[in-house]
Amino acid sequence: MLPLNSATRLFGAAAVLLVFTAFSPWSIGTADAATPTWIKLNPANSPSARYAFAMAYDPVSQKVVLFGGTTPTSYLNDTWTFDGTTWTQASTLVAPPARSATMLAYDAPSQKLVLFGGFDGSLLGDTWLWDGATSTWTQANPTTSPAPRSGVSLFTDPKNQHADVFSGFDGKVWPGDVWQWNGTDWAQLQPPVNPEGRAQGIVGYDLATRSVVVTGGINGGFLRTDNTWTWNGNNWRQQFPATQRPYVFYTAGAYDPLLQEVVSYGGDEVNGVVHTTWGWTGTDWVQLQTKNSPPTRDQMGIAYDPVTRQLIMFGGLGLQNVLNDTWKLVQH
């Protein structure tokens, strides 16, 4: 049994920090003035209820990919894809071992989704590659690699479109380091400035500004992560928005080109789990006044599907139960 206490949440579960890449098949248009609306979908098939899984959009297969996660009794290692209408479980001969607290990010040069690290009762430091053209997993064997860790921010680099890992928790500290995948190996980057290390925060690729935004997360007792930073591929820059999104962890974010904002939902704030929707405009955080609202949750997955033009949210840990519902955010 995996107890849903604060220790398990810190070391064994992560908000899935979903990214959005500049090379995906859409263009930036004028922001839709209509009201953002959450709509519950009713797919014919769905993954089982879970939280702290990895989820990202794969431009090769043009589907959202979901891997692993956890329930109150077990870790999972199944793979699912979503085509905008229904979920389909992938039949893979090889798959990463079961885990939570991991992430997926697209590496454009290799055209693979990259999965790194996580937690299965112990910290993990392995690297796996998802090929959307063949629906197969391959374990990579890098010569150099980040230390095993959970709760990383994994995102596509805005400079060269490789997959980057930022921070996470290595069992002792939140290192605040940045590593980049080159297709076969990891290399540590040395930016002049680094944010405070953290795990379980929000990360999203802001297509409009060609930068990655990071906010919130856990750092040694919730210290000093109620701030916003952006990464341009060369350096981090702290932002000073007029409105700082309330300190949050165990949530997810993805860029919605119709809103032209990195959108996040729910998560844990200081006073508990919330059900609010926030957007990063590139300079400021704004709370979106949406029609409808999914049930309160944390540790869900969020990804934008440019083919069906909808922001997709799945699952997570609710106030009373583990969820497996699918929602979309559209403009009505």
Q: What are the tens digits of pLDDT across the range 85-139?
A: 999 999 999 999 999 999 999 999 999 999 999 999 999 999 999 999 999 999 9
pLDDT of 18 above 60: no
Query: Which residue ranges make up each domain of the chain?
Result: 6-331
Report the pLDDT value the prediction gives residue 332, as an integer from 0 to 100: 74
Provide the 8-state DSSP code for 176: -
**Residue 309 clears pLDDT 90, i.e. is over it:** yes
Q: By C-alpha distance, which of 91, 88, 81 is closest to 61?
A: 81
Q: Is the entire prediction scored with pTM above 0.75?
A: yes
Residue 34 confidence (pLDDT): 81
Contacts made by residues 81-86, CB under 8 angstroms, sequence distance 24+: 81/135, 82/43, 82/305, 82/312, 82/314, 82/326, 84/305, 84/307, 84/308, 84/310, 84/312, 85/43, 85/308, 86/43, 86/44, 86/45
Q: In sequence order, which residues have a C-beta less than 8 Å from that of residue 145 and are 6 or more positions away? A: 125, 127, 179, 186
The residue type at 31:
A
CATH label, 6-331, candidates 2.60.40.3880, 2.60.40.1730, 2.120.10.80, 3.40.50.1370: 2.120.10.80
Quote the mean pLDDT of the chain. Answer: 90
Q: For a pLDDT cut of 90, what percent of the chain falls above it? A: 86
Residue with token string 């959970």: 150
Q: State the pLDDT confidence band at 221, using cuts at 50, 70 and 90.
A: low
pLDDT of residue 21: 37
In the prediction, which pLDDT does 116 show? 98
Chain center to CA of 316: 12
CB atoms within 10 A of CB 225: 25
Measured between alpha carbons, how far is 220 from 14 in angstroms, rounded to an integer?
A: 15
| pLDDT (tens digit per residue) in 267-281 | 999 889 999 999 999
